[in-house]
A and B are shown apart, each in its own frame.
Chain A
């Protein structure tokens, strides 16, 4: 197996915000090797197709606060899994495990979105706060 894929699998593969790849491929935009771990308050949520977007202000290595934008899943699927945009509020502190855009902008594909207590958001089912994924049938 390709090493990069193994890393991707280890890094929370089944998290909600992996892209719907139908309208563009992941690799056309993002680099799976460019991992970013972002923590900061939610600045804005865009709950629209084809992807939700989360904006947060995270500190870079120098301690400077920079604005990041990270795409998540499509709102239709999230809705079917019981999520709404109210799962997060502006100011909520979140941690995004993401993959950076190839163009080097502060844009990422969010592999997982977590609250400080460890609960995942926009993953799994809203009822259970995102528990272990089901085994594929």
Chain B
């Protein structure tokens, strides 16, 4: 199954992502021009730190190994000779540094046959939410950073400074925020091992450790870098970088994944029992 299917999923995802990129940007902008991204210096908090508050448009990242608009994979990884974007100058995807277990989990991923947890509107988790196409509202003060994900109307809170960890493994992880100069660093652990990183299904375990770095070079943009460190499935940490764009013309909207998930409740996509269980051998 897996290699051809995964490649096709990747291509299908790329197809959708490209459409989405144009679509979300206001396709056919002859009479509906996209507002200019605000210019000027990044705003500061009363404490003198960059303020990331705002509603942010982000690139949809269905495959963290692929190049795309406003997204770059880890360029220290080797190229995947079999997979690349479209066009004559398209760059190759990157090969992830799988452990043997991670490779087995990746090779066995088959959303068509076994479903994917997101198909039934289960919590996406932190990384998949960052990869999602819908806007993100960030609200920030000296104690907390709140991430309001329009996709499925979820939230996540990061706390500045150490705090008591909850004992329950989490979909979104437990996140501590700190400053590294003017870069906000988010360090997340205590994941429940049930999330897939992206639509293509790159696996994670409960050993997952995510480090995110947010910087705001100017009013209109966030530079974002995420590092995936999961020693169960990957032999070393690896990264992906993005650019987020401020959208002062948008307001966050409610999004209920469950309200009419026909694809799922009519059985067109499969229900998954355990997102991280390897598929039954065919």
- A interacts with B: yes
A-to-B contact residues, CB < 8 Å: 1-2, 4-5, 8-9, 13-16, 18-29, 32, 46, 48-51, 53, 69, 71, 73-74, 76-77, 79-82, 101-103, 105, 107, 123-128, 130-134, 136-137
A105 touches B268 (CB 8 A): yes
Known contacts A50-B261, A101-B268, A131-B30: does B23 contact A25 (CB below 8 Å)? Answer: no
B-to-A contact residues, CB < 8 Å: 5, 7-9, 11-32, 60, 62, 69, 86, 111-112, 115-116, 118-119, 121, 124, 128, 131-134, 150-152, 199-200, 250, 253, 255-257, 259-264, 266-270
Q: How far, in whole Å, are A48 and B270 apart by their CA atoms in the complex?
A: 21
Contact for B112 among A28, A126, A132, CB less than 8 A = A28
Q: How far, in whole Å, are A33 and B275 apart by their CA atoms in the complex?
A: 28
What are 11 A-B residue pairs whose CB atoms fall within 8 Å in the complex? A21-B199, A22-B134, A24-B199, A27-B9, A28-B270, A29-B263, A77-B23, A128-B28, A128-B30, A131-B28, A134-B26
Known contacts A18-B23, A81-B27, A124-B28: does B269 contact A28 (CB below 8 Å)? Answer: yes
Q: How far, in whole Å, are A92 and B29 apart by their CA atoms in the complex?
A: 26
Q: How far, in whole Å, are A22 and B266 apart by their CA atoms in the complex?
A: 19
Interface of B is mostly: loop
B194 to chain A, nearest CB (A): 15
**Residues of chain A lying within 8 A (CB to CB) of residue B262:** 51, 53, 69, 71
Known contacts A29-B268, A29-B269, A134-B22: does B16 contact A1 (CB below 8 Å)? Answer: no
A27 touches B69 (CB 8 A): no
A10 to chain B, nearest CB (A): 12
Q: How far, in whole Å, are A51 and B5 apart by their CA atoms in the complex?
A: 24
Known contacts A14-B19, A26-B16, A76-B253: does B150 contact A125 (CB below 8 Å)? Answer: no
Known contacts A27-B5, A49-B256: does B26 contact A125 (CB below 8 Å)? Answer: yes
Known contacts A24-B263, A49-B257, A127-B32: does B118 contact A9 (CB below 8 Å)? Answer: no
Q: How far, in whole Å, are A92 and B250 apart by their CA atoms in the complex?
A: 31
Q: How far, in whole Å, are A29 and B131 apart by their CA atoms in the complex?
A: 20
A74 touches B255 (CB 8 A): yes
Q: How far, in whole Å, are A82 and B86 apart by their CA atoms in the complex?
A: 30
Q: How far, in whole Å, are A131 and B31 apart by their CA atoms in the complex?
A: 9
A8 touches B15 (CB 8 A): yes
B263 touches A51 (CB 8 A): yes
**Residues of chain B lying within 8 A (CB to CB) of residue A9:** 15, 86
Known contacts A2-B11, A28-B116, A136-B21: does B27 contact A18 (CB below 8 Å)? Answer: no
A113 to chain B, nearest CB (A): 13
Q: 4 tightest A-B contacts by CB?
A: A124-B28, A125-B32, A48-B260, A18-B19
**Residues of chain A lying within 8 A (CB to CB) of residue B29:** 125, 134
**Residues of chain A lying within 8 A (CB to CB) of residue B200:** 25
A133 touches B27 (CB 8 A): yes
B2 to chain A, nearest CB (A): 12
B8 to chain A, nearest CB (A): 5
Contact for A124 among B5, B27, B124, B263, CB less than 8 A = B27
Known contacts A24-B111, A24-B269, A25-B111: does B32 contact A82 (CB below 8 Å)? Answer: yes
**Residues of chain B lying within 8 A (CB to CB) of residue A136:** 18, 21-22, 69
**Residues of chain B lying within 8 A (CB to CB) of residue A130:** 27-28
B11 to chain A, nearest CB (A): 5
A4 touches B11 (CB 8 A): yes
Q: How far, in whole Å, are A49 and B256 apart by their CA atoms in the complex?
A: 6
B272 to chain A, nearest CB (A): 10
B131 to chain A, nearest CB (A): 7
Contact for A49 among B18, B260, B267, CB less than 8 A = B260
Known contacts A22-B131, A127-B31: does B15 contact A133 (CB below 8 Å)? Answer: no
